[in-house]
Amino acid sequence: MDVTEIRQLVALEQTHWWYRERRAILRAELRRLARHGRPGRALDLGAAGGGNTRVLVEEGWDATAADCSEEAVEVARQRGLRAMVADARWPPVESASVDLVTAFDVLEHVEEDYLVTEQMARVLRPGGHALIAVPCDMSLWSEHDDAVGHLRRYDRASLTTVVEKAGLRVERVWSWNVLLRPLVARHRRGSTGSDLRKLPFLVNAGLSAVVIAERYLPVKSCKGVTLFLRARLGG
C-alpha cells in the first residue's frame, strides 16, 4: 500500500463500512480468544495506520503495530500506538515471544507469502494464534487489485496450504462480504482503480447494514470477497 492509500485509509477507516465491519470481526475473534485465557502480547503485521492495532489495545492486548512504510508507522505513533518499521517477511521480533499475530490484507502484497506465514509461526509462543484476512477468488480480479498492489487473490485451498506449510494448525476458514459479492463483481468489472473512497452517508449506511446481517446468517461457507483464517501454533 502506497502513502496515498495509507492516508486515505486512515481518513476513512472510522466510518467506512468495509473497515468498520472488519474491525468488528477482529473484536469478536479477540473476545472469543479471551474466553480461553487473558490477552498477552500481540503483533499486528502490515498495520498501516494502526486501525486494527487500536482494537487489540482496546481489548487488553499489549500490541505492537508493524509496517514497512515509515509514513504508516509515524501515523500509528501519532495515534498513541507502539509501532515499528518492519518487513513482514523478517520482522525484528524474538522467536516465541508473542501470543497473537494478525495480518489483515498482507499476504496478497508479498511475492514470498510463505515467508510471512513462516515468520508468524516463528514469533508465536506454543498455543499462540494467528488471524489472517486476504482477498479471495481470482475471478474477482480487477483494476482495483492492480491499484492497491495485490499480487494474487486466494481460495481456501491456497490460503490453507501456505499457512499449514509454515507449521500452523488451521482452526477455521470463513468467507466474508458474501451478500455483496454480486454487487462487488459487477462494480469491479467497470472499475478503473481503487475502491477506497468516501461514500455518501446513505450508501455507506446501506452497505453496512448488509454486511452486519452476515453475522447472523449461515453464509460463511459461501463464496465472498474476503477470506478470514484463524490458526494456532501447536496442538
Residue pLDDT, tens place only, 57-82: 999 999 999 999 998 999 899 899 99
Does residue 20 register a pLDDT over 90? yes
Please state the rounded mean pLDDT for residues 134-150: 90
Phi, psi of 191 (to 5 degrees): -75, 155
Please state the rounded mean pLDDT for residues 35-47: 93
The class that CATH gives domain 3-233 is alpha beta
Does residue 162 register a pLDDT over 80? yes
* Max Cα distance, the chain (Å): 47
Residue 154 CB-density burial (10 A; 0-12 exposed, 13-18 middle, 19+ buried) = buried
Q: Distance between CA 83 and CA 192 in Å, rounded?
A: 33
Q: Provide the pLDDT for residue 38.
A: 86
Q: What does the domain layout of the chain look like in residue ranges? A: 3-233
Q: Provide the pLDDT for residue 123.
A: 98
Query: Cell 481518513 appears where?
Result: 11
Look at the pTM and tell me if it is higher than 0.85.
Answer: yes
Banded model confidence at residue 36, pLDDT cuts 50, 70, 90? confident
Banded model confidence at residue 193, pLDDT cuts 50, 70, 90? low
pLDDT digits (tens, 9 = 90+) for 88-126: 999 999 999 999 999 999 999 999 999 999 999 999 999
Please state the rounded mean pLDDT for residues 22-35: 95
Q: What is the mean pLDDT of the chain?
A: 93
Please state the rounded mean pLDDT for residues 204-227: 96
Please state the rounded mean pLDDT for residues 148-170: 96
